[in-house]
């Protein structure tokens, strides 16, 4: 099982769109929103995924994550079993320095733009680009499962 290490930011403006190398339409919902483990079903373009995420550490930077691609039809069926509250968003992949910033433009349940950057270690340096705003890493208000 992988350990996910990421920082999360609000986004100041949409200048990142012209810098992106790819965008994806995403629909996702949750089978479980238990704070100790969330279970998410996602359809991204024509692919289905199921993901289990463990509880974040005290800094909000790190948690265990298991993800597996599943057949699209199974993902569609699992979405019918999910808790109320489907998330619809467009994801932009933005190359930046030696990493990639993932920017999600949420349409539902509320309009918002959030960015995440996955890091190789807890102490990895990251200088945010100027289009990123306030860091919200570890703030449960910005966890997808709480939207």
pTM of the shown model:
0.91
- Mapped to the 3 state alphabet, what secondary structure does 112-135 carry? EEEEEEECCCCCCCCCCCCCEEEE
In the chain, where the domains are located: 2-146
CATH placement of domain 2-146: 2.40.320.10
- Give the Cα separation of 3 and 144 in Å (integer): 18
Give yes or no: 30 in active site: yes
- Answer yes or no: are the C-beta atoms of 78 and 68 closer than 8 Å: no
Give the distance from CA 24 to its chain's centroid.
12
Given the residues 30, 92, 142, 143, the one annotated as active site? 30
What local confidence, expressed as pLDDT, does residue 143 receive? 85
What local confidence, expressed as pLDDT, does residue 108 receive? 83
pLDDT means per 10 residues, the chain with 147 residues, are 91 96 97 94 96 91 95 98 96 93 92 94 91 94 83
């Amino acid at each position: 099982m992988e350990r996910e290490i990421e920082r999360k930011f609000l986004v100041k403006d949409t200048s990142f769109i012209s810098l992106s190398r790819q965008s994806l339409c995403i629909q996702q919902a949750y089978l479980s929103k238990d704070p100790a483990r969330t279970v998410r079903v996602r359809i991204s373009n024509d692919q289905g995924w199921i993901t289990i995420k463990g509880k974040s550490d005290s800094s909000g930077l790190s948690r265990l994550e298991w993800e597996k691609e599943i057949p699209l039809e199974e993902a569609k069926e699992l979405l019918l079993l999910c808790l109320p509250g489907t998330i619809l968003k467009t994801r932009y992949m933005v190359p930046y320095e030696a990493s990639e910033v993932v920017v999600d433009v949420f349409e539902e349940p509320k309009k918002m733009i959030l960015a995440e950057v996955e890091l190789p270690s807890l102490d990895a340096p990251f200088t945010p680009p100027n289009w990123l705003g306030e860091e919200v890493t570890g703030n449960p208000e910005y966890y997808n499962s709480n939207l």
